[in-house]
Amino acid sequence: DQQVKQNSPSLSVQEGRISILNCDYTNSMFDYFLWYKKYPAEGPTFLISISSIKDKNEDGRFTVFLNKSAKHLSLHIVPSQPGDSAVYFCAARGTGTASKLTFGTGTRLQVTL
Amino acid sequence: EAGVTQSPTHLIKTRGQQATLRCSPISGHTSVYWYQQALGLGLQFLLWYDEGEERNRGNFPPRFSGRQFPNYSSELNVNALELEDSALYLCASNRNRESTEAFFGQGTRLTVV
């Protein structure tokens, strides 16, 4: 049962343009959503998070939007840079004893020159 | 401040053997999570330890086990290794069970031959 889904395995964007990565979830009990970035042979690096009571959080070039009614969140990167090329994982946190992060399968972003 | 450290970086075992993977969380962090990332797949939750106790367990067979020591470091043991256990094993730590973002180590690449 895939509770967190990233339906696009890959995305290619030109440098300077906007990158939009999408994530859907099924469990309405998740209370926090996070985005991680992962380079090959490295562990994931935390990027940005959003509480389930908010609909937007911004940090520099990164903005996360949450649409609770649609159970959908997205990560916007503006402007995209070649160094942003990596695999991006969406994660959701449960509550109580389920307070673990459930990850999506990742989207590989390639920013081209 | 040192990040999450994992050892060894790489591990090669033969089918049927046992593997032990180690993780040291960030100083002051009490929660440790273990994830498996098999080739081409997302991060699959394995185990969660907090304050020395197992808090949650993912959908993995009992031959995957672990523990957390009084200094909050953790060990993941995989018994009776199978070829499909070959994967990147990632450890992450949180300040406590209420914290949101988890910080990952660089992982242990386990290869079963």
pLDDT tens digits, A31-84: 899 999 999 888 999 999 999 999 999 999 999 999 999 999 999 999 999 999
Contact B43 A46 (CB under 8 A): no
| Nearest CA distance, A103 vs chain B (angstrom) | 6
Coil, helix or strand at residue B53: strand
Q: Are strands A86-93 and A19-25 parallel, antiparallel or unpaired?
A: unpaired
Q: Torsion over CA of B76, B108, A87 and A97, rounded to 10 degrees?
A: 10
Q: Which residues from chain A sit within 8 angstroms of residue B92, using beta carbons?
A: 43, 101
- Tens-digit pLDDT profile for residues A69-106: 999 999 999 999 999 999 999 999 987 766 788 999 99
| Residue-level pLDDT at A1 | 62
On whether any CB of chain A is under 8 Å from the CB of B33, the answer is: yes
Place of tokens 């907090």: B50
The pLDDT profile of chain B, 113 residues, written as one tens digit per residue, is: 679 999 999 999 999 999 999 999 999 999 999 999 988 778 999 999 999 999 999 999 999 999 999 999 999 999 999 999 999 999 999 988 778 889 999 999 999 99
Give the three-class secondary structure for B30: coil
User: B74 and B23 in contact (C-beta within 8 Å)?
Assistant: yes
